[in-house]
A and B are shown apart, each in its own frame.
Chain A
Amino acid sequence: MHAPLIQPTEDGLYCAAGDFHIDPWRPVERAIITHAHADHARSGSALYWAAKPGLGLLQRRLGKNTAIHGVDYGETLQFGPVTVSLHPAGHILGSAQIRVTDGHEVWVASGDYKRDTDPTCAPFEVIPCDTFITEATFALPAYRWPSAAAVAADIQQWWQANASEGRTTVVFSYALGKAQRLLAELPTPHPGPIFLHGAVAPLTDDYRAAGIQLPVTQTIGEAADNEDFSTSLVIAPPSAAGSTWMRRFRKPATGFASGWMRIRGNRRRRGYDRGFVISDHVDWPGLLQTIEETGAKRVLTTHGRADELVRYLNEMGLNAAPLNTLYGEDEENG
């Protein structure tokens, strides 16, 4: 048996036959990037390839002067004997699964992905393969996502109630991807103006620049000194919770949007007024559906809780094993 087409090295996932890395966590010569989240897109490599819709985000993450080759979804690249193509992962704008083949077998490294519809990015595409590298962030059967539209309607209703009490509504959410998805999902008309934290605003502009339709927003830093925010919705990263930054809002009602909010204990412990179950990662039913649809005989896992998934898949007759990666380490709360 020959060496695996892709295997983890101390630099990251490496394809020796094509001499390139996928989402390396150390600087390398050639890096193919699945998406712009910090645990996948790290700076310092010599050459990058990534899907075109996410180039703006990546350029912001990796630095203006970094050379990144934009690749169309479905376009093929040749690395020696190895053919590579990128396909939508449905995770955030520009997220891609990396299909790798040497002519004998097909591997797909899916990065992070989800199966739910998301108005801010291209939907996940099933790529038949022999070996599927999947994330396992929420790989337990308790994680089943409600529809994002229903959750957004819930947020809208809560915002309305807060606004009628003169309380600012603050939703904490991961700044890249989830914040923009929330914006896009919120039903109109809105009960009040929408403000973005300074960490969320530029990323949101990148989405707009890529042609994604999002509602009008203002940035907190540019708000008037006497802005009262009493009917506003504010979207901020979780790091802003409990900080002095929050002092500008009187009696804010706070909510947290994350897949972890599925568990009551997490909702309670976090100390937010509300927890909203919305995730850009795949849930348990989506995970099993995807693995089945790819037809993969071998499944390798990254991120989080892999043990149960691996055991379950092996019992189902697949060949599954965890891959040792650093993904998910500094990803904020799914």
Chain B
Amino acid sequence: MHAFAELFQTLDRARGTNAKVSAMAAYFSQASAADGAWAVYFLSGRRIKRLIGPTRLREWLAEATGLPDWLVTETHEHVGDLAETIALMLPEGVEQADDQRGLAEWVEAEILSLRDCEEAECQSRVTSAWAALDEAGRFLYSKLLTGALRVGVSQTLVERALAQASGHPQAVIAHRMMGQWTPTAAFYSGLFSEREEHEDASRPYPFFLANPLEADPAELLGDIHDWQAEWKWDGIRAQLVRRGDAIYLWSRGEGLIGESFPEIIEAAETLPADTVVDGEILAWQDDVLPFAQLQRRLGRQRVGKKLRAEVPVRLLIYDLLEQGGEDLRARPLGGRRQTLEAIMAGMPPPLMLSPLVMAADWQALAALRAESRARGVEGLMLKRRDSAYGTGRPRGIWWKWKIEPLTLDAILLYAQPGHGRRANLYTDYSFAVHDGEQLVPIAKAYSGLNDAEIRRLDRWIRQNTRERFGPVRSVEPQQVFELAFEGIAASSRHKSGVALRFPRIKRWREDLGPGDADTLQQIKALLP
């Protein structure tokens, strides 16, 4: 536990990916297979089910510290993170000293086993674990209890570290880590094993990712004929895997999501055996529907006939990764596309070929990109025709060329302190626009200002507070901010009648007064 807590602290402090990768590689090289398996599990963002809710943990913390519940709650509010609150509030125990148990033993004997114990026993075991651990250990243990350890490294970095520790190419590690696995010593040894043993048939390939293109493609990308352009869909990236008779639909978050999209699973039976394709799931009726519609299909155990009819979906396929059991990823995109088009010819919905966007030159392509919003897409994807289907997100091969976000000018109305990393400052803001004589809340936003602006605004908020409701302050309606957002939809749940997608602060418009802010009517005019 100590070694992993130390690794966590090092990762938390490390700046730059190389430092993170070498810290993880050093850990992987010395960890036992059982500890290593759990480390890979947590570092790659997997979670165990939450065993104890925050309310009970706060109650137990109150008892352990002898402080009233409300003070524990306030402190939690200030710190922002419950596990950290637990680590910080308890005095350094006397028992700590030399607990030699490794991560696996802690997880299996002290955490997972809590599943079957009575409330009182549970509390006494958790409380004694707190007393036995030092601050870093207590933080980690409590994080695991709440099921929410976020380490701040991507799966790709974990793969790189494992590649370093094992001497295997990263692609091999990446493939071995796809799909469903349990954190056992056998799994961990398997990552390091030399022979490619029979790979689990359900596994998709690691998704290949694009970088945002901020420059002018005519200058950066050269000849347009070297590039394949596709629409950038606003849906769920997914791989459809058919191996033998088995069919799996994987989302990029690596969950199996076939249950949410039974019609895609059914249609996949028309694919040739041993085929893997990459594409985007979209809500679709004659044309693409907004993402909000697609969301209705997510996170459901069963999708009934009614919902299937209300929100029909399609899988728009843009790449072919495996055919007849052969891994095609090293072949150039142009060739993969030709084979894909042949397979897709005559294929009925909901499987559908994602069309290419044809343009004679960059200028013409830019003109098409300008139609994105009307077409319900986020912009264009630009992929080198000679590109292999790689892993991770290397620069220069695939680009996403998104359209500029929409913007509006709104007035700061409420503020509350941030959580965790911004617990001392007012950083969570609510904005309003004019609606006749009134101001109506339009969006919340947390990001977009730099640290100096945040501090300056924090000071302004404290000096211009009108009312306080718990942690929330209402402020004088004076400060105007330009907000950027990705889309807008009608919403009965919002007082304004509209919901913005991904609102964030673009800049602080100190040059504008509250009278310059937008009106609700102007914003409603943007509704599709």
Per DSSP, chain B at the interface is helix
Q: In the complex, how many angstroms separate the beta carbon of B220 from the nearest chain A beta carbon?
A: 29
B-contacting 9-mer, from A30-38, A47-55, A180-188, A256-264: A256-264
Q: Are A141 and B13 in contact, CB atoms less than 8 angstroms apart?
A: no
Bound Cα distance from A270 to B422, whole angstroms:
10
Q: In the complex, how many angstroms separate the beta carbon of B216 from the nearest chain A beta carbon?
A: 31
Q: Are B78 and A142 in contact, CB atoms less than 8 angstroms apart?
A: yes
Q: Is A42 close to B, CB under 8 A? A: no
Bound Cα distance from A192 to B72, whole angstroms:
44
Residue in contact with A142 in the complex, picked from B89, B420, B422, CB distance below 8 Å = B89
Tell me the residues in window 301-322 of chain A with beta carbons closer than 8 Å to chain B beta carbons: 305, 308, 311-312, 315
| CB-defined contacts of A262 to chain B, threshold 8 Å | 88
Q: In the complex, how many angstroms separate the beta carbon of B136 from the nearest chain A beta carbon?
A: 11
Q: Are B79 and A142 in contact, CB atoms less than 8 angstroms apart?
A: yes
Q: Are B422 and A269 in contact, CB atoms less than 8 angstroms apart?
A: yes
| CB-defined contacts of B71 to chain A, threshold 8 Å | 140-141, 308, 311-312
Q: Nearest chain-B residue to A271 (Cβ)?
A: B451
Q: Is B518 close to A, CB under 8 A? A: no
Q: Are B68 and A263 in contact, CB atoms less than 8 angstroms apart?
A: no
Q: Is B65 close to A, CB under 8 A? A: yes
Bound Cα distance from A270 to B75, whole angstroms:
21
Q: Is B7 close to A, CB under 8 A? A: no
Q: Is A265 close to B, CB under 8 A? A: yes
| CB-defined contacts of A144 to chain B, threshold 8 Å | 88-89, 91
| CB-defined contacts of A263 to chain B, threshold 8 Å | 78-80, 84, 88, 420, 423-424
Q: In the complex, how many angstroms separate the beta carbon of A132 from the nearest chain B beta carbon?
A: 20
Bound Cα distance from A264 to B101, whole angstroms:
26
| CB-defined contacts of B70 to chain A, threshold 8 Å | 311
Q: Are A265 and B422 in contact, CB atoms less than 8 angstroms apart?
A: yes
Q: Nearest chain-A residue to B80 (Cβ)?
A: A265
Bound Cα distance from A155 to B422, whole angstroms:
24
Interface residues on A, range: 20 to 34
Bound Cα distance from A308 to B451, whole angstroms:
27
Contact with B along A175-202 (1 / 0, CB 8 A): 0000000000000000000000000000
Q: Nearest chain-A residue to B427 (Cβ)?
A: A269
Bound Cα distance from A262 to B423, whole angstroms:
12
Q: Are A264 and B78 in contact, CB atoms less than 8 angstroms apart?
A: no
Task: Report if A264-B421 is in contact (Cβ < 8 Å); known contacts: A140-B78, A141-B89, A271-B451.
Answer: yes
| CB-defined contacts of B13 to chain A, threshold 8 Å | 273-274
Q: In the complex, how many angstroms separate the beta carbon of A298 from the nearest chain B beta carbon?
A: 21
Residue in contact with B81 in the complex, picked from A264, A271, A311, A315, CB distance below 8 Å = A264
Q: Is B85 close to A, CB under 8 A? A: yes
Residue in contact with B451 in the complex, picked from A142, A143, A269, A305, CB distance below 8 Å = A269
| CB-defined contacts of B12 to chain A, threshold 8 Å | 264, 268
Bound Cα distance from A262 to B419, whole angstroms:
14
Tell me the residues in window 200-215 of chain A with beta carbons closer than 8 Å to chain B beta carbons: none
Q: In the complex, how many angstroms separate the beta carbon of B431 from the nearest chain A beta carbon?
A: 22
Q: Are A260 and B75 in contact, CB atoms less than 8 angstroms apart?
A: no
How many residue pairs link A and B with beta carbons under 8 A? The number is: 69
Task: Report if A265-B88 is in contact (Cβ < 8 Å); known contacts: A141-B67, A273-B15.
Answer: no
Q: Is B269 close to A, CB under 8 A? A: no
Bound Cα distance from A315 to B69, whole angstroms:
12
Contact with A along B395-425 (1 / 0, CB 8 A): 0000000000000000000000011111110
Q: Nearest chain-B residue to A264 (Cβ)?
A: B84
Q: Is A266 close to B, CB under 8 A? A: yes
Q: Is B74 close to A, CB under 8 A? A: yes
Bound Cα distance from A69 to B430, whole angstroms:
52
Bound Cα distance from A274 to B12, whole angstroms:
10
Q: Nearest chain-A residue to B70 (Cβ)?
A: A311
| CB-defined contacts of A305 to chain B, threshold 8 Å | 78
Q: Are A140 and B91 in contact, CB atoms less than 8 angstroms apart?
A: no
Q: In the complex, how many angstroms separate the beta carbon of B264 from the nearest chain A beta carbon?
A: 40
Bound Cα distance from A264 to B75, whole angstroms:
14
Tell me the residues in window 267-282 of chain A with beta carbons closer than 8 Å to chain B beta carbons: 268-271, 273-274
Contact with A along B474-506 (1 / 0, CB 8 A): 000000000000000000000000000000000
Contact with B along A284-312 (1 / 0, CB 8 A): 01000000000000000000010010011
Q: Are B423 and A266 in contact, CB atoms less than 8 angstroms apart?
A: yes
Q: In the complex, how many angstroms separate the beta carbon of B151 from the nearest chain A beta carbon?
A: 13
Q: Are B74 and A140 in contact, CB atoms less than 8 angstroms apart?
A: yes
Q: In the complex, how many angstroms separate the beta carbon of A126 from the nearest chain B beta carbon?
A: 22
| CB-defined contacts of B88 to chain A, threshold 8 Å | 141-144, 262-263
Q: In the complex, how many angstroms separate the beta carbon of B242 from the nearest chain A beta carbon?
A: 44
Bound Cα distance from A271 to B418, whole angstroms:
17
| CB-defined contacts of B89 to chain A, threshold 8 Å | 141-142, 144
Q: In the complex, how many angstroms separate the beta carbon of A252 from the nearest chain B beta carbon?
A: 12
Q: A263-B420, A265-B422 are in contact. List 16 more A-B contacts (CB 8 A).
A: A141-B65, A142-B88, A264-B12, A264-B81, A264-B84, A265-B79, A265-B420, A266-B423, A268-B12, A269-B451, A270-B451, A273-B15, A305-B78, A308-B74, A308-B75, A312-B71
A-B contact pairs, 21 of them (CB 8 A): A140-B71, A141-B65, A141-B67, A141-B75, A141-B89, A142-B79, A144-B89, A260-B424, A263-B78, A263-B84, A263-B423, A264-B12, A264-B81, A265-B79, A265-B422, A266-B421, A266-B424, A269-B451, A308-B74, A311-B70, A312-B67
Q: Which 4 A-B pairs have the closest CB atoms?
A: A265-B421, A265-B420, A142-B88, A269-B421
